[in-house]
Amino acid sequence: MLLRFASLVILGWMTMTGISHAQSSTPKRTLGTIERLHPDFDTLVPADAALEILEDGFTWTEGPVWMGDAQNGYLLFTDIPRNSIFSWTKFHGISLFMQPSGYTGVTYYGLEPGANGLLKDHDGNLVMCEHGDRRVSVLTREGGKRTLADNYQGKRFNSPNDGVLKSNGDIYFTDPPYGLPRRENDPRRELDFCGVYRITNGTREITLLTTELERPNGIGFSPDEKTLYVAQSDPKRAIWMSFPVKEDGTLGSGKLFYDATDQVAKYPGLPDGLSVDQAGNLWASGPGGIYVFNSKGTLLGRIVTGGRTSNCCFGEDGTTLFVTADSNLCRISTKAKGIP
């Protein structure tokens, strides 16, 4: 399903933007430090682990998702300001996968028009949370996109941000205003709240699950799918919440999982995208890097980038954590394994 553009166009575009088409043979470059705060962290991150920079020179990287198997798979990630999705493989490095990715209009649409969060649907197709077109879409195997959801009760979404797949095929996603050119004050805004929603597999019914968070962002399930974690990108209340998932797939009242508001003044960035491993640990982007929590909300350690860090996902054989950090695409080897 990997899209291929004319090679001359790709190479010319990459040269123009300073991004190489193939992996460099230069020595590995690393970013930041590893902060070990609890003995259990050593069971998740090797003592000699370092955050490797795979490529840089992007504008704002986001939405990493691993497609395919360990041997022949590839990573997809977004560059939101460039309205583009890129791919990375260990064989070919970086290449352009899709442009435009999240805005197909013909007029200027702010600084973050492109797709944000990426995920796979029940059939392994690529699902995109699109800022500019204000929808959740799927890239069909036959070619072209299909809209899964673009409104709630007739009112257009703000700007779908991030999503997660439930094992029954339902898609849960967040809808803050960050993709609107003037954000919460944009005159094009039609909903006066920021919600967490569900798209029911098959019927595509849209269910509003909660409006408890003013700026919902990253989202993920616990391994047993009895808990939904949602990050809030609000500098005044930079938190992660946990919601019990009811038998019918709706949510109970949320509880505070972790509060990182005191870190906002120390490090750039806010709670953003997250991933959950098979043991139930959260790997969540937050102020200054990736925060690693156990399922009880204890902070075990951090992968400190020192800068704005947007998201992460497990890929390759499931133990590699890919990290999107500002203009960089990075990875780190772990002892954990992501949820398939």
Task: Give me the chain's average pLDDT, please.
Answer: 93
- Residues of the chain below pLDDT 50: 1-23
Give the closest residue to 258 by CA, choosing from 245, 249, 270: 270
Torsion angle in degrees (nearest 10) through CA of 60, 301, 280, 235: -50
How many angstroms separate the CA atoms of 136 and 199, rounded?
9
In this predicted structure, what is the pLDDT of residue 142?
Answer: 85
- Selection from 169, 167, 168 nearest residue 148 by Cα: 169
* pLDDT of amino acid 25: 57
Report the amino acid identity of residue 173: F
Residue 256 to residue 89: CA distance in whole angstroms: 38
pLDDT of residue 10: 36
What pLDDT, on a 0 to 100 scale, did the predictor assign at position 292?
98
Distances (CA, A) of 89 to 30, 61, 76, 92, 98: 18, 16, 9, 5, 15
pLDDT tens track for 233-251: 999 999 999 999 999 999 9
Domains of the chain by start residue, with CATH: 30-333 (2.120.10.30)
| Burial classification of residue 72, based on how many CB atoms lie within 10 Å of its CB (0-12 exposed, 13-18 middle, 19 or more buried) | exposed
Task: Quote the CA–CA distance of 37 and 223 in Å, as a whole number.
Answer: 24
